[in-house]
Amino acid sequence: MSTNRTFTMIKPDAVENGHIGAILEKINGAGFKIVAMKYTHLSKRDAEVFYGVHRERPFFGDLVSFMTRGPIVAAVLEKDNAVEDFRALIGATNPAEAAEGTIRKLFAKSIEENSIHGSDSDENAAIEGAFHFSGREIY
């Protein structure tokens, strides 16, 4: 069953390169409503917990270092078919394989620095949104 909410993070590389406004414009232009948003900085512990599913992967340490090197923008988005539509909007993890006009094609440098996170399932969207926001922060 699909829901109408998903979670996203604009990653440190996109923040560092001044792409917050352009990415938010793409999100709004695709019909998503922002129901929660914050500019924050992940601690090492937060990044390790958030990406815990990757703990045994060889890239885990680099991922944690990347995600803690600078601020991020976390947001909960709302739209019919939110998870699937947002995954289409952000494009493939590897920007070289991403479709033209997608956020990663436009703003990402590499598979490691791919500018944005989007939940991959309705279940993960709920978990990830709750990780970053209390219930009173989501409208």
Distance CA 90, CA 23 (A): 10
Helices (H), the chain: 12-16, 20-29, 44-50, 60-67, 82-90, 103-107, 122-132
Sole residue written with tokens 């060889």: 58
* Catalytic residue ranges: 117
